[in-house]
A and B are shown apart, each in its own frame.
Chain A
Amino acid sequence: MMSELRKDLVSGRWVIIATERSKRPDDFLPSGGTARAAEPVGFCPFCEGNETKTPPEVFALRAAGTAADSPGWKVRVVPNKFPALNRGTPPLKPTGGVFQWMEGTGVHEVVIENPNHALELSDLPVAHIRDVFQVFQQRITSIEEELHYQYVQLFKNKGKEAGASLSHPHSQIIATPIVPKRIKEKIYGADRLFRNFKECAFCRILQEEEAAGARQIARNRHFSVIAPYASRFPFEMAIYPLRHSPFFKDVREDELLTLAETMKAVLTRLKETVGDPPYNMVLHHAPNPSLSLEGWPEIEKNFHWHLEIFPILTKVAGFEWGTGFYINPVPPETAAKFLRQP
């Protein structure tokens, strides 16, 4: 069978699905076939007891009676100690002619997901994972209310190959004064498709995936997990809410608990399937609604928040950088089959 070129409906990005040299999950297992253990714990600035090594916390879920920046917390959020972007009022527009620039304003926060260095997100009880998601919502809302930042990006790097410098489980939030290109591509794509389909393109994709079934990994009363049709990476997954909403911060408490169950289940399956790989997780949601969304008047109807998880099992190299194409040696149908199996 020849390889296949597939187009991502919303972004318009093309992917080469290399079916003729398709790999199996075993091909990605670390040598020895066992999952990598957490690195030995030396000093870690995120561990409980080392609170003085971080900037003062901006938010924490902590035991009653415990003081800020002391032990006793469950989830803790601190600003980046040495940030690339600093809080402040951004200019209305970039300046310069051909070479545009603006001051590096923004927010960079770290969400320390639990006090224990060795406990991964998927190891935590569902209620704790729900708490982590609630903290994400709180931080997104709070940063958006500062009215300076157009987009709040939540992401997680797990493992060195995914960009994590520290193995203590954490996520990061970076808010920027402009809407990033990749988000704009999705917004414009969703807008164009909305006019075609007369409905949200993401909702349409979910219906189609449900009917086809081949790429569906999990589904429950609130969420659907799929291996996207034009997956860029082996075992890539996307979690979509079944209830249409462009805003992650609008997810209700009962839905958050289901999201936590879903997340725990898919991360556990990923670990069981390909041996605890490094991964990136990103949230894509609508830009800051507290600022004007007049550039995208129908965004509430046509955008649909979602989480993307991509295990780092292949290298992004010259071809990908040069073309924006990705080569994926595992068809998403194969990935879904393995990730679905109990």
Chain B
Amino acid sequence: MKKKILLVEDEKALCLLYEEELSREGYAVTAVIDAETALAELGKTAFDLIVTDIRMPGMNGIELITRIMGLRKDIPIIINSAYQSYKEDFMTWAADAYVVKSASLDELKAKIKQLMGE
């Protein structure tokens, strides 16, 4: 059975690219463009991993992972942000990895594999 990833990314083009690339890696990807929808999806599906952006309209990624901790502490979370500076916020420690966005998705894919125990 395919492992399920929840992808939270507000830029639609990036969202599509990630969805396509991660699906090609064999994952079942649910891609959403805001944190509120992500929380709703979490109520419906038992995801194996979450990848989230930080800077998003409405609830940001840090608030989202804080909310997720109140629901499920065991789900691996990867922060995928274009900004290094959020690393200074200790609330990011609720996540298991912090991958800075780049043109290549190699680092993100490697982190996903590592956290999925593959």
Q: A interface vs B, CB < 8 Å?
A: 42-43, 45-46, 50, 52-54, 81-84, 110, 165-166, 170
Structural contact, A84 and B87, CB atoms closer than 8 A: yes
- Check: B33 CB closer than 8 A to any chain A CB: no
Structural contact, A110 and B94, CB atoms closer than 8 A: no
A53: chain B residues at CB < 8 Å are 73, 93-94
- The minimal Cβ–Cβ distance linking B33 to chain A, given in whole angstroms, is 24
Query: Could you say which of B66, B89, B98 contacts A43, with CB atoms under 8 Å apart?
Result: B66
- Check: B70 CB closer than 8 A to any chain A CB: yes
B88: chain A residues at CB < 8 Å are 84, 165
B87: chain A residues at CB < 8 Å are 82-84
Query: Could you say which of B70, B89, B90 contacts A110, with CB atoms under 8 Å apart?
Result: B90
Given contacts A42-B66, A42-B70, A43-B70, contact A166 B91 (CB under 8 A): yes
Query: Could you say which of B69, B70, B98 contacts A82, with CB atoms under 8 Å apart?
Result: B98
CA distance A92 to B73 in the complex (A): 44
Chain B stretch 78-115: residues in CB contact (< 8 A) with chain A: 87-94, 98
Structural contact, B94 and A82, CB atoms closer than 8 A: no
Given contacts A82-B87, A82-B98, A165-B88, contact A45 B70 (CB under 8 A): no
B94: chain A residues at CB < 8 Å are 43, 45, 53
Main secondary structure of the interface of A (DSSP, over half): loop
- The minimal Cβ–Cβ distance linking A69 to chain B, given in whole angstroms, is 14
Query: Could you say which of A43, A54, A81, A166 contacts B69, with CB atoms under 8 Å apart?
Result: A43
Structural contact, B70 and A165, CB atoms closer than 8 A: no
- The minimal Cβ–Cβ distance linking A68 to chain B, given in whole angstroms, is 18
8 residue pairs from A and B, CB less than 8 Å apart: A43-B69, A45-B90, A45-B91, A52-B73, A81-B98, A82-B93, A83-B87, A165-B88
Interface residues on B, range: 10 to 19
CA distance A83 to B84 in the complex (A): 10
* A54 nearest CB neighbor, chain B only: B93
With A43-B73, A45-B90 already in contact, 15 other A-B pairs whose C-beta atoms are closer than 8 Å:
A43-B70, A43-B94, A50-B73, A53-B73, A53-B93, A54-B93, A81-B98, A82-B87, A82-B98, A84-B88, A110-B90, A165-B90, A165-B91, A166-B91, A170-B90
CA distance A50 to B91 in the complex (A): 12
B69: chain A residues at CB < 8 Å are 42-43
Query: Could you say which of B66, B70, B73, B93 contacts A81, with CB atoms under 8 Å apart?
Result: B93
- The minimal Cβ–Cβ distance linking A110 to chain B, given in whole angstroms, is 7
A110: chain B residues at CB < 8 Å are 90
CA distance A53 to B90 in the complex (A): 11
CA distance A45 to B87 in the complex (A): 14
A82: chain B residues at CB < 8 Å are 87, 92-93, 98
* B84 nearest CB neighbor, chain A only: A84
| Per-position binary interface string of chain B over residues 30-61, scored 1 when its CB falls under 8 Å from any chain A CB and 0 otherwise | 00000000000000000000000000000000
- The minimal Cβ–Cβ distance linking B38 to chain A, given in whole angstroms, is 16
B73: chain A residues at CB < 8 Å are 43, 50, 52-53
CA distance A81 to B89 in the complex (A): 11
